[in-house]
Amino acid sequence: MTPGTSSASNSPSAWQRRRILIWGKTRPEVSQHYRETVCTGGVFEDSGRLVRLYPIPLRYMDDAKYFAKYQWITADVQQAIDRDNRPESYRIRPDTIAVDGQIDTGKAKDWAERARWVLRPDNVVQSVEALQARQQLDNSSLGVLKPKKIVQVLPEKYAPAEKNKFWERYKAIVSQMDLGLDEEQREPKPLTPPDYRFRIRFTCDDPACSLVHKFGILDWEIDALYFRMKQKYNEARAVQEVVKTLEKVCGPDRDTRFFLGNISTHPTNFTIVGLWYPKKVAAPPPGLFDAVGV
């Protein structure tokens, strides 16, 4: 099926079986029913539009349903209009997920096939302000932005009070939760609060925007990298490695874009929920194909 075609029901309240290309996962959050849940970003195959899927208790799912970035999945989903009026927000039945192939970059690192689905005109915004204007118009809450300039990558250590607040909420939820979906009653995995938040300062490629934005990153890969490096080295080295990685994927040789998403309780506040970072493809020299009439 090609982008732009649709076979799904138009009823927002009906469960629908749909195929989705996953482009990112945010940091796990504590959940009353699932101990932790991951908000997952994707693109519907039938419409080509961005979608937010939750709740996905990803670390408790069996291996057959554990999916990676740019992997196709098929699952039962339902628009979450009763609790979340953001048009891209959909509930998902985790037990219905079927993993269905992956778009690999291959040796050439060519992201063209991924771009065919993700970088559709309806999904792309020119500036933060343009996305905020969309949000005011129709509650849009996701968009892909190409920054004009990356000014700085900033690590910020969480204050002790913030981490204590996380632990208090986590312990309160764990003490009264019913995991529900864990038929085998496997050992629960603790959810550790992050030590740092990482932010990027950037400008938009839009004459109407003259601001330098500073957005936090909620991409799970960044947190996972930090924890791996901390375990391998130490806290200071882990921070250095994350900053170095972010500077690399936002470097001048990359076609860097940000997946921006907002918070349901603060709809005008957007953050970076995913990163797009293929290497730039050099344009052919002028006249290279003239002889063959291309």
User: What are the pLDDT digits (tens) for 184-238?
Assistant: 444 556 677 889 999 999 999 999 899 999 999 999 999 999 999 999 999 999 9
Cβ-count burial of 177 within 10 angstroms (0-12 exposed, 13-18 middle, 19+ buried)?
middle
Asked whether 78 and 68 are in contact (CB, 8 A), the reply is no
**Residues in Cβ contact with 216 at an 8 Å cutoff, skipping those fewer than 6 apart:** 197, 198, 199, 271, 272
Asked whether 86 and 264 are in contact (CB, 8 A), the reply is yes
CATH class of the 16-110 domain in this structure:
mainly beta
What share of the chain has pLDDT > 70, as a percent? 82
Q: What are the sequence ranges of the domains in the chain?
A: 16-110, 119-158+194-276
Q: What is the pLDDT of residue 203?
A: 98
Other Cβ atoms closer than 10 A to 205:
13
The CA distances from residue 274 to 22, 164, 215, 222, 259, in Å, are: 11, 27, 12, 10, 5
**Residues in Cβ contact with 166 at an 8 Å cutoff, skipping those fewer than 6 apart:** 30, 193
Highest mean pLDDT pick, 36-45, 141-150, 192-201: 141-150
Q: What is the pLDDT of residue 284?
A: 52
Least confident range from 14-18, 55-59, 223-227: namely 55-59
* pTM of structure: 0.86
Intrachain domains 16-110 and 119-158+194-276 with the same fold: yes
Q: What is the mean pLDDT of residues 14-37?
A: 84
Quote the DSSP letter at residue 239.
H
The fold for domain 119-158+194-276 equals OB fold (Dihydrolipoamide Acetyltransferase, E2P) (2.40.50)
Beta bridge partners of 271: 261
Evaluate if residue 264 carries a pLDDT over 80.
Answer: yes
Cite the DSSP H helix spans in 177-208. none
Cite the DSSP H helix spans in the chain. 112-118, 128-138, 160-176, 220-232, 235-249
